[in-house]
């Protein structure tokens, strides 16, 4: 790693710490808050305009991402046009068009639909504007220059591992338990939005991990719905997952059998699934997985309602995207650590993958509080400060 890049990341880290100190939680700040040191940053924008396009403010992670990317870029001397598209594809296309018209020098995009932005990317390429895909791969276009994300397949592996731990089949280190229960356990599986490339990676990683247990009959998907097309959740909507869980309870569990575990691909969906089970009279939850370490779910995990989540530190992802942006604008190629995995249908996009962690009730403190992601007070309240 070059010294300059390290300096950039270090700057981002200092900033994240400052933000955490001021805002009481790196994940919970909102776009309206002025980050510390913003006055100086705002005056020093000779680096030019950078467009940052985020999918939605409904899931809190994207708010944290947007805030952190904006703060990091401003700190580095850029002006930032940060837009949220309300999970509406035409709105996102239009916002990106406007960024290009306004003269953005670089675009950082977390796509709603990974295949819907080819026109915008063509325009960006024609204007010589580098494009960084943020967290979600943009598909079917030559004009994606770099991808910053987490190891999404491994996120799926971690989710399935957590489910197996919850069922007593693996220990907390992920090793087989010698006197593990034989099962069979009735489980159900959910996936994210089919137009989000990540949803496929999460599901593949999880299902590969569950496969031996499904093959030998330890696990049974009682509904028989095991294909991603059958279990996907359009736009990652919590209500849609709740409705599907309700339908499954009626169609496959009205004989009195219990759901004993649920693979949920993120926290928003996990909470919908929990609501469906609670409404059906479940007083104790089976192990239900998640992703994103959203504050409401972290509280549910602390309270023993949701079993696990996956912590993807959005501050680190934001730092990576800022470092990559600085490289491009200095005429250099950002450093990739994966040049094989992310084929977008036209080319393999050079990527920088970050690692994620499984959160259970007993490591919330170590992973989320000690890192300054959430404060103990926020977790107790189940709500982000400010």
Q: Which residues bind ligand BGC (CB under 6 A)?
A: 59, 61, 135-136, 192, 196, 198, 236, 266, 291-292
Pseudo-torsion of CA 336, 342, 348, 350, nearest 10°?
A: -10
- Shortest distance (Å) from residue 198 CB to ligand BGC: 4
- Shortest distance (Å) from residue 373 CB to ligand BGC: 14
What is the token pair recorded at 179?
């006197």
Residue nearest ligand BGC by beta-carbon distance: 266
Q: Which is nearer to ligand BGC, 129 or 298 (CB)?
A: 298
Q: Where are the beta strands (DSSP E) in the chain?
A: 49-54, 79-84, 106-109, 131-134, 146-150, 185-189, 219-221, 261-263, 309-311, 351-354, 357-359
Pseudo-torsion of CA 36, 41, 42, 48, nearest 10°?
A: -140
Q: Which is nearer to ligand BGC, 63 or 210 (CB)?
A: 63
Q: Which is nearer to ligand BGC, 136 or 271 (CB)?
A: 136
Residues sharing a CB contact under 8 Å with residue 80, sequence separation 6 or more, in sequence order? 49, 50, 52, 69, 70, 73, 74
Q: Which is nearer to ligand BGC, 135 or 151 (CB)?
A: 135
Q: Which is nearer to ligand BGC, 38 or 338 (CB)?
A: 338
Q: Which is nearer to ligand BGC, 74 or 196 (CB)?
A: 196
Residues sharing a CB contact under 8 Å with residue 68, sequence separation 6 or more, in sequence order? 12, 16, 19, 26, 314, 315, 317, 318, 319
Task: Answer for the pair 359, 292: CB distance below 8 angstroms, yes or no.
Answer: no
- Shortest distance (Å) from residue 19 CB to ligand BGC: 20
- Shortest distance (Å) from residue 151 CB to ligand BGC: 11
- Shortest distance (Å) from residue 332 CB to ligand BGC: 27
Q: Which is nearer to ligand BGC, 131 or 241 (CB)?
A: 241
Task: Answer for the pair 82, 137: CB distance below 8 angstroms, yes or no.
Answer: no
Whole-number Å distance between alpha carbons of 298 and 236:
19
What pairing do the DSSP bridges indicate for beta strands 309-311 and 357-359? antiparallel
- Shortest distance (Å) from residue 142 CB to ligand BGC: 22
- Shortest distance (Å) from residue 135 CB to ligand BGC: 5
């Amino acid at each position: 790693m070059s010294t300059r890049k390290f300096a950039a990341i270090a700057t981002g880290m200092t900033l994240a710490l400052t933000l955490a100190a001021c805002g009481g939680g790196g994940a919970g700040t909102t776009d309206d808050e002025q980050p510390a040191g913003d006055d100086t940053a705002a005056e020093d924008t000779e680096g030019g305009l950078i467009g940052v396009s985020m999918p939605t403010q409904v899931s809190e992670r994207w708010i944290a991402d947007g805030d952190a990317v904006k703060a990091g870029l401003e700190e580095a001397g850029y002006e930032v046009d940060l837009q949220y598209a309300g999970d509406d594809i035409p709105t996102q296309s239009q916002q990106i068009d406007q960024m290009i018209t306004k003269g953005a020098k670089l675009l950082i995009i977390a796509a709603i639909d990974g295949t819907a932005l080819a026109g915008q990317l063509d325009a960006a390429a024609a204007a010589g504007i580098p494009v960084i895909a943020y967290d979600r791969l943009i598909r079917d276009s030559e004009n994606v220059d770099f991808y910053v994300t987490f190891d999404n397949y491994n996120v799926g592996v971690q989710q399935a591992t957590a489910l197996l731990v919850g069922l007593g089949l693996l220990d907390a280190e992920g090793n087989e338990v010698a006197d593990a229960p034989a099962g069979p356990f009735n489980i159900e599986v959910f996936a994210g939005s089919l137009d989000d490339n990540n949803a496929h990676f999460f599901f593949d990683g999880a299902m590969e991990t569950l496969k031996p247990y499904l093959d030998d009959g330890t696990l049974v998907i009682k509904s028989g719905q095991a294909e991603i097309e059958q279990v996907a959740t359009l736009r990652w909507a919590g209500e849609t997952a709740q409705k599907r869980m309700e339908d499954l309870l009626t169609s496959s569990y009205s004989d009195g059998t219990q759901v004993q575990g649920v693979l949920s691909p993120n926290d928003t969906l996990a909470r919908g699934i929990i609501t469906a089970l609670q409404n059906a009279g479940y007083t104790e939850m089976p192990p239900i997985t998640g992703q994103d370490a959203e504050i409401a779910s972290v509280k549910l995990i602390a309270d023993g309602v949701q079993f696990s989540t996956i912590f993807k530190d959005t501050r680190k992802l934001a730092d990576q995207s800022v470092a990559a942006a600085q490289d491009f604008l200095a005429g250099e190629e950002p450093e990739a650590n994966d040049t094989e995995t992310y084929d977008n249908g036209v080319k393999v996009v050079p990527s920088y993958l970050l690692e994620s962690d499984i959160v259970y009730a007993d490591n919330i403190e170590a992973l989320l509080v000690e890192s300054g992601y959430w404060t103990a007070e926020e977790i107790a309240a189940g709500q982000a400060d400010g």
